[in-house]
Chain A
């Protein structure tokens, strides 16, 4: 095949997915920033002309605690997810072929189960008359009339629950490639099991750890259904506010400004990680 024919067939074959993502992913993302400078109209759309008013609105200091909460809930979710996923991935990678396949299936099923259903399951578990609350109260582990639902702790718990498979799968992929003979070597050189785990295994799956953490953190930043459904009135996150602006206040430019801010907050750290990993790969090669 001549070079020119090859180049044109490359373009032709790339065109469908490239064009689709260009029109329905890149342009919409850019339009979010454009919309932030348009005036709102009462029907939930945008009015004619341009304005900077929305930028002033979102400088509202009331957003600061919400942003702060969004970040720390996401960070805590990431922390707990990685803490649970690390030993899980470690065990899965060392288990026999059969057990490994089963564990993988058992992780994937909740991951593929309906998102709302999983939240709903926790709602009924944590419900004041639900089995968990009742059991804990009857064991005197909880005071009478304790409420587990509508509470920051509930938000964190359900967040960890829904994001956990996102942490396990990339970590498992990394752990599967890890040479477990290195752990024997570490033990041989005098490391205790826990030291071997933390000094050899954890650095060995560093790349998987970073992508798992990134994935969980970014997905958590955007959550709004969980705080809305299991959180209390004071547990709003930035996502909740965006949804509120769109569906309750019908103020699209305001929502776009918030979404644009979040988009920058998501893309910038990813860019940093991507550049850093590329540099690391070049040094490694």
Chain B
């Protein structure tokens, strides 16, 4: 049967559509022109400006601290949540399942808005802690889903086999379940990390004075045309790191 070329053409068209703007960003980060309309020669200038922009690096440091701690917390809770969701069938897990799924489909603005309502009504000052709480909340669901997917492929007779060969329940979990689950947990953690670094909308609602994360910094830079080419340079670095993280993550998922 001859296959129609149309879906393949459309698919690569979609890829082009997805990447064209990113490519333009990367190219413009080396463009001497301020607006990037036309090529006015190669320059490292915007990267030098970015290097000198201390507030950007402060924001990055803050963002990384939040992202690492939030993804660690969500990895622990998410792995546990995935395990019980997989292990038990009960009304409790039905409720649990709904609670895990809802944040995935809740628009960001509503999540930000409701967390803000919580913090205002309970009198908690917005700042580093509230951002961390918000990030753990939305990362938790994603980690749970990734680990759950991994658990569904896990052959639980392996635990029986370990017990049969003399391992206690705890030894079976430590020697068999955890090593096999680890790639999934790490992939979930990487996803959580990326989402946390990326988040703008929710963070905007729950941030306080002095807690300008990187996305918040980018947003404020976008308002002044002077710093636009510097954003190109910053974006290029971020896209490159996303590439690395995505490649590592897909390697982790594949290794079964």
Interface majority SS (helix, strand, loop, mixed), chain A: helix
Determine whether A148 belongs to the interface, using a CB cutoff of 8 Å to chain B. Answer: no
| Chain B, range 93-108, C-beta contacts under 8 Å to A | 93, 95-96, 99-100, 102-103, 105-108
Instruction: Report whether B84 and A10 are in contact in the complex, using a CB–CB cutoff of 8 Å.
Output: yes
Sort chain A's interface into a size bin.
Answer: 35 or more
Pick out which of these stretches binds chain B: A57-65, A202-210, A252-260. Answer: A252-260
Instruction: Report whether B7 and A90 are in contact in the complex, using a CB–CB cutoff of 8 Å.
Output: yes
Query: How many Å lie between the Cα of A117 and that of B218 in the bound state?
Result: 8
Determine whether B158 belongs to the interface, using a CB cutoff of 8 Å to chain A. Answer: no
Instruction: Report whether A121 and B25 are in contact in the complex, using a CB–CB cutoff of 8 Å.
Output: yes
Q: How many chain B residues have a CB neighbour from A under 8 Å?
A: 87
Type the 1/0 row for B134-170, where 1 means its CB is closer than 8 Å to any CB of A.
1011001000100000000000000000000000000
Determine whether B52 belongs to the interface, using a CB cutoff of 8 Å to chain A. Answer: no
Instruction: Report whether B103 and A124 are in contact in the complex, using a CB–CB cutoff of 8 Å.
Output: no
Instruction: Report whether A113 and B200 are in contact in the complex, using a CB–CB cutoff of 8 Å.
Output: no
Instruction: Report whether A262 and B110 are in contact in the complex, using a CB–CB cutoff of 8 Å.
Output: yes
Determine whether B43 belongs to the interface, using a CB cutoff of 8 Å to chain A. Answer: no
Determine whether B32 belongs to the interface, using a CB cutoff of 8 Å to chain A. Answer: no
Determine whether B173 belongs to the interface, using a CB cutoff of 8 Å to chain A. Answer: no
| Chain B, range 176-216, C-beta contacts under 8 Å to A | 191, 194, 197-201, 205, 215
Residue numbers in A under 8 Å from B53 (CB-CB): none
Q: Closest chain B residue to A160 by CB distance?
A: B17
Instruction: Report whether A130 and B105 are in contact in the complex, using a CB–CB cutoff of 8 Å.
Output: no
A139 CB to nearest chain B CB (Å): 15
Q: A17-B77, A105-B250 are in contact. Are A242 and B109 (CB under 8 A)?
A: yes
Type the 1/0 row for A1-32, where 1 means its CB is closer than 8 Å to any CB of B.
00000000011011011101110111111011
Instruction: Report whether A28 and B18 are in contact in the complex, using a CB–CB cutoff of 8 Å.
Output: no
Most A-side CB within 10 Å, residue of B18, B115, B133, B197:
B18
Q: For A117, give its contact among B4, B17, B95, B235 (CB under 8 Å).
A: B235
Instruction: Report whether B140 and A17 are in contact in the complex, using a CB–CB cutoff of 8 Å.
Output: yes
Instruction: Report whether A84 and B10 are in contact in the complex, using a CB–CB cutoff of 8 Å.
Output: yes
Most B-side CB within 10 Å, residue of A25, A125, A255, A262:
A25
Residue numbers in A under 8 Å from B137 (CB-CB): 20-21, 24-25
Instruction: Report whether B77 and A11 are in contact in the complex, using a CB–CB cutoff of 8 Å.
Output: no
Instruction: Report whether B198 and A112 are in contact in the complex, using a CB–CB cutoff of 8 Å.
Output: yes
Instruction: Report whether A256 and B117 are in contact in the complex, using a CB–CB cutoff of 8 Å.
Output: yes
Instruction: Report whether B215 and A115 are in contact in the complex, using a CB–CB cutoff of 8 Å.
Output: yes
Query: How many Å lie between the Cα of A95 and that of B77 in the bound state?
Result: 37
Instruction: Report whether B4 and A114 are in contact in the complex, using a CB–CB cutoff of 8 Å.
Output: no
Determine whether B256 belongs to the interface, using a CB cutoff of 8 Å to chain A. Answer: no
Instruction: Report whether A270 and B105 are in contact in the complex, using a CB–CB cutoff of 8 Å.
Output: yes
Q: Could you list 16 A-B pairs, sorted by A, with CB under 8 Å?
A: A10-B93, A13-B83, A14-B81, A17-B144, A18-B95, A21-B137, A24-B118, A25-B103, A105-B250, A108-B246, A115-B199, A130-B35, A130-B36, A161-B21, A168-B14, A259-B113
Extra contacts, 16 of them, besides A18-B95, A107-B15, A266-B110 (Cβ < 8 A), are A22-B99, A25-B102, A34-B117, A84-B14, A87-B14, A94-B3, A106-B18, A108-B246, A113-B238, A124-B35, A125-B21, A127-B35, A127-B37, A131-B24, A164-B14, A225-B201
Residues in B lying within 8 Å of A, measured CB to CB: 1, 3-4, 6-8, 10-11, 14-15, 17-22, 24-25, 28, 35-38, 76-78, 80-81, 83-84, 87-88, 90, 92-93, 95-96, 99-100, 102-103, 105-111, 113-118, 120-121, 133-134, 136-137, 140, 144, 191, 194, 197-201, 205, 215, 218-219, 222, 228, 231-232, 235, 238-239, 242-243, 245-247, 250, 254
Rank and list the top 9 A-B pairs by shortest CB-CB distance, nearest first. Answer: A222-B107, A121-B21, A28-B114, A17-B81, A91-B11, A28-B118, A87-B10, A91-B7, A129-B37
